[in-house]
Amino acid sequence: MAGRLLRLAGFDIDGIADGPGLRCVVFVQGCPHHCPGCQNPQTWPFEGGEEVSVEEVERRIRATVVDTGVTFSGGEPFTQAAALADLAERLRPDYDLASFTGYTWEGLMARAKEDPEILRFLGWLDVVVDGPFVQALRDRNLLFRGSGNQRILDVKASLAAGEAVWTKDPAWVGEDGSARAEG
Ligand code: SF4
What's residue 95's pLDDT? 97
Helices (H), 76-140: 81-91, 105-112, 117-122
What's residue 175's pLDDT? 79
Q: Which residues line ligand 1 (CB under 6 A)?
A: 31, 33-35, 38, 40, 43, 74-76, 102, 132-133
What separation in Å is there between the alpha carbon of 35 and the centre of ligand 1? 5
Q: Pick from 136, 112, 179, 118: which is nearest to 35 by CA?
A: 136
0.85 exceeded by pTM: yes
What separation in Å is there between the alpha carbon of 103 and the centre of ligand 1? 10
Domain annotation for the chain: domains and CATH numbers: 5-180 (3.20.20.70)
Ligand 1 atom 8: residue of nearest CA: 38
What's residue 25's pLDDT? 97
What separation in Å is there between the alpha carbon of 1 and the centre of ligand 1? 33
Nearest-atom number in ligand 1 for the CA of 133 is: 7
What's residue 108's pLDDT? 98
List of residues 6+ apart from 177 with CB closer than 8 A: 168, 170
What's residue 178's pLDDT? 64
List of residues 6+ apart from 40 with CB closer than 8 A: 9, 27, 31, 74, 75
What's residue 183's pLDDT? 43
What separation in Å is there between the alpha carbon of 43 and the centre of ligand 1? 8
Nearest-atom number in ligand 1 for the CA of 31 is: 4
Ligand 1 atom 3: residue of nearest CA: 75
- Which ranges of the chain have pLDDT less than 70? 1-2, 178-183
Reported as half-sphere exposure (CB side, CA atoms, 13 A), residue 174 has a value of 10
**8 A C-beta contact, residue 122 and residue 159:** yes
What separation in Å is there between the alpha carbon of 63 and the centre of ligand 1? 28
